[in-house]
Amino acid sequence: MSIEISGRPAAQQANVSELSTGASKQKQLTTAQQETGTPSQQDTVSLTDTADMLQRLEEKIRAMPVVDIQRVNTVKSAIDNGNYQIDTAQVAGQLIENEIGLYK
């Protein structure tokens, strides 16, 4: 069953035909580019100073040890000697600050 559509302005008909020919030209260009293997434009990549700095910092962090051995040995020694003091007020304050920070 076919339906005939009439009464469409001529300007709309011209736009439709321009769109269809434009799409076929674009496909032809893409096909030609694929056959020759050459891109239509030069692709370039550039790093900003910030990106370069972040990359250097990342490398430095990777080189750092995960655990501060000197700090561990200091605390371990203080515990062994009975000199390790826990400031409960400071611990409680830090816990409260951490909890408040979760809700910001």
pLDDT 10s digits, 53-94: 999 999 999 998 889 999 999 999 999 999 999 999 999 999
Q: Which structural domain range is residue 33 located in?
A: 9-38
Span 12-39, pLDDT tens digits: 554 455 554 544 445 555 665 666 666 6
- On whether residue 57 sits in a domain, the answer given is no
Q: Select from 39, 56, 37 the least CA-distant residue to 47.
A: 56
- On whether residue 46 sits in a domain, the answer given is no
- On whether residue 60 sits in a domain, the answer given is no
- On whether residue 52 sits in a domain, the answer given is no
pLDDT for 23: 46
pLDDT for 44: 74
Could you report how far apart the first and last alpha carbons of the chain are, in Å?
65
- On whether residue 28 sits in a domain, the answer given is yes
Contact 84, 90 (CB under 8 A): no
pLDDT for 87: 94
Q: Give how many domains the chain has, as a whole number.
A: 2
Amino acid at 8: R
- On whether residue 32 sits in a domain, the answer given is yes
pLDDT over 70 at 99, yes or no: yes
- On whether residue 78 sits in a domain, the answer given is yes
- On whether residue 48 sits in a domain, the answer given is no
pLDDT over 90 at 52, yes or no: no
